[in-house]
Amino acid sequence: MGALDGKVAVVIGASRGIGKGIALEAASAGATVYVAGRSVGNGAGVEPGSLGETVADIEAAGGRAFGIRCDTSEDSDLVALYDQVAGEQGRLDLVAHSAFNMSSFGPTIGRNLWELPAGLLGDLMRTSASGAYASAVRAVPLMITGGGGLIVHVSGRGAARYRYNTAYGMDKAAMDKLTSDLAHELRPHRVAVVSLWPSVVRTERNQPPSGVDEYGWPDPQRPADDLETPRYSGRAVVALAGDAEVMARTGRKWWTAELAAHYGFTDEHGRAHPVPAETDPGLA
């Protein structure tokens, strides 16, 4: 018996990285997973990976998944996604939002606000914080009807401290505010809402022999093999979704490593990771 047997999950941003790790772990725990995002086929994005590959990996491991193209800035896409889930499954237990606009963000890392494209914040938020808001508008009624569930927003330290640039921090802060306020509204309905804070993750962009420090900056002394893996975050989501007392955690942010210590899981290579410092000691 898997921890999520009989459960239905939607993972947005599941073509690669943390979103893919969440989708793989939810499926391996027994959930039927709808993997959603914009990268349908190979070469569709700035990074490798696609919804088709994620579905294939889940099915090869014996899981059940459906790939759905969904742009969270388009309400019609969200309506179609959640209508399909309702029509095919009649329930929804878990939503994880890990979508991020890397194509707009990547070239802007380390640039001051006045050096950024004027539309950068809007580009980021339409996919990330505003996208998660719009997703919740469509997902929550189905979860309430089913008697409860869990919404996970992948956020991070940039919500609280300077990281990469101003637009990035504003988007992450908005994501965490969405978590706290939506949790307040959904508490009577037994739907928990949490922000998941991974540390630096070994995604398709951070492959050996590259290395980065805990803030994402180049550091050859810390090999990529030491970084958290996407499935480490996925295991955190599964642990939360399978916890009968998850409402005690609603409305807050949780480091992936915090949850690993509490629930007793490791990453896919058997590694435990330290809980990162919340602040950058180099900043006032």
Give me the CATH number covering residue 45: 3.40.50.720
58 found inside a domain = yes
Domain tally, the chain: 1
In contact, 28 and 262? CB cutoff 8 Å: no
What pLDDT is stored for residue 100 in this prediction? Answer: 85
Alpha-carbon distance of 28 to 103, in angstroms, equals 30
Extended beta strands in the chain, E state? 8-12, 32-37, 64-69, 94-97, 149-154, 191-197, 211-212, 218-223, 253-255
The answer to whether residue 66 is domain-embedded is yes
Record the tokens describing residue 229, joined without a space: 């893996």
Residue 51 lies inside a defined structural domain of this protein: yes
Rounded to 5°, angle at Cα 265 from 276 and 183: 70
CA distance 95 to 88: 16
**Residue 126 vs residues 56, 164, 166, 181: alpha-carbon distances, Å:** 28, 19, 16, 19
In a domain? residue 276: no
Pairing status of strand 218-223 against strand 64-69: unpaired
As given in the structure block, the two tokens for residue 225 are: 């093999």
The pTM of the full predicted model, rounded to 2 decimals, is: 0.91
Tens place of pLDDT per residue across the chain (284 aa): 689 999 999 999 999 889 999 999 999 999 999 999 887 765 444 567 789 999 999 999 999 999 999 999 899 999 999 999 999 999 999 999 999 887 787 788 889 999 999 999 999 899 999 999 999 999 999 999 999 999 999 999 999 999 889 999 999 999 999 999 999 999 999 999 999 999 888 766 655 555 665 445 555 566 667 788 999 999 999 999 999 999 999 999 999 999 999 999 999 989 999 898 765 443 32
* Tokens representing residue 45 in the block: 């994005």
How many CB atoms sit inside 10 A of residue 19's CB?
29
Q: Measured between alpha carbons, how far is 150 from 241 in angstroms, rounded to an integer?
A: 6
Domain annotation covers residue 193: yes
Q: Domain containing 211: what range?
A: 8-263
Lateral strand order in the sheet of 64-69 = 64-69, 32-37, 8-12, 94-97, 149-154, 191-197, 253-255
pLDDT for position 44: 46
Q: 2 in a domain, yes or no?
A: no
- Of 34, 133, 168, 215, the active-site residue reads 168
In whole angstroms, give the CA distance from residue 276 to residue 16.
23
| Beta pairing class for 32-37 and 64-69 | parallel
Residue 59 in domain: yes
Q: With CA atoms as reference, report the closest residue to 150 among 139, 160, 163.
A: 139
- One-letter amino acid identity for 69? R
Burial of residue 90, with CB atoms counted within 10 A of its CB: 0-12 exposed, 13-18 middle, 19 or more buried: exposed
Per the CB < 8 A criterion, the answer to whether 39 and 249 are in contact is no
Residue 172 lies in a domain: yes
* Res 207: pLDDT: 57
Residue 215 among the catalytic residues: no
